[in-house]
Chain A
Amino acid sequence: NAGVTQTPKFQVLKTGQSMTLQCAQDMNHEYMSWYRQDPGMGLRLIHYSVGAGITDQGEVPNGYNVSRSTTEDFPLRLLSAAPSQTSVYFCASSYRGLGVRQFFGPGTRLTVL
């Protein structure tokens, strides 16, 4: 199993550009989520999904969109990037509830100029 994979590893955007961060898992997990981590801080939940076709907002959803068309994939879209979105983004998945043991991807480091 590859576990949770994320692409790209690094990305630099200009203010106003859009992009999609990719996340995939091969463990047949129902639950997937996106977090952001700012320097010196813990992770904050952006959006999560409890299954294909079902998504919900987390703690900091503004400026981000998600969709879940398959069990395996959960992309995160930045509609119009802002410098405040400079962060490291982690995707995670788990079998049951959001709080059950989660498996995290390696992260995407995003810089918005």
Chain B
Amino acid sequence: DAKTTQPNSMESNEEEPVHLPCNHSTISGTDYIHWYRQLPSQGPEYVIHGLTSNVNNRMASLAIAEDRKSSTLILHRATLRDAAVYYCILRRGSWGKLQFGAGTQVVVTP
């Protein structure tokens, strides 16, 4: 299965944008890019997913490189509530399982 590489941690100031990178150089054509986040002492929460085109929803934006070997999750205005571990995950086709890595710990400073 294709793997993802994320930085261990990132810091941001409140109300500033956060750009979370993810490398997935071995991605295949049928792999979807998913992002989940996990707030302290809670279960993971779906953030966004995409295949080839950039995606936006109320929580975040997902920018996918043209060659699909990397992607960036964008939190437009970080709040203290966005402090969490963010996981970039590849899902193979329509039925593939989610494989979680260690993720990126996002710290938001007031």
Selected A-B contacts with CB under 8 Å, 8 pairs = A42-B100, A90-B44, A99-B92, A99-B94, A99-B96, A101-B46, A104-B44, A107-B41
Contact A99 B34 (CB under 8 A): yes
Chain A positions within 8 Å of B, measured between CB atoms, are: 4, 35, 40-45, 48, 58-59, 90, 92, 96-107
Contact B43 A42 (CB under 8 A): no
Chain B positions within 8 Å of A, measured between CB atoms, are: 32, 34, 41-46, 49, 87, 91-103
Contact B46 A98 (CB under 8 A): no
Inter-chain CA distance A42–B95, complex, in Å, is: 20
Residues of A near B43 (CB, < 8 A) are 4, 90, 92, 104-107
Inter-chain CA distance A106–B41, complex, in Å, is: 8
Contact B100 A44 (CB under 8 A): yes
Contact A99 B42 (CB under 8 A): no
Among the listed A40, A42, A92, A107, which residue makes an inter-chain contact with B42, where contact means beta carbons less than 8 Å apart?
A107
* CB contact under 8 A between A41 and B96, given known A99-B32, A101-B49, A107-B42: no
Inter-chain CA distance A40–B38, complex, in Å, is: 12
Among the listed B34, B44, B91, which residue makes an inter-chain contact with A43, where contact means beta carbons less than 8 Å apart?
B44
Number of A-B contacts (CB under 8 A): 58
Contact A41 B102 (CB under 8 A): yes
* CB contact under 8 A between A97 and B96, given known A90-B43, A106-B42: yes
* CB contact under 8 A between A58 and B97, given known A40-B102, A42-B103: yes
Contact B95 A97 (CB under 8 A): yes
Residues of A near B96 (CB, < 8 A) are 97-99
The 8 closest A-B pairs by CB, nearest first: A42-B100, A104-B43, A99-B91, A97-B95, A43-B100, A101-B46, A99-B96, A98-B97
Contact A96 B100 (CB under 8 A): no
Which of A45, A97, A103 has the most CB atoms of chain B within a 10 A radius of its CB? A97
Q: What's the minimum C-beta distance from B59 to chain A, rounded to whole angstroms?
A: 12
Q: What's the minimum C-beta distance from B5 to chain A, rounded to whole angstroms?
A: 13
Residues of B near A92 (CB, < 8 A) are 43-44
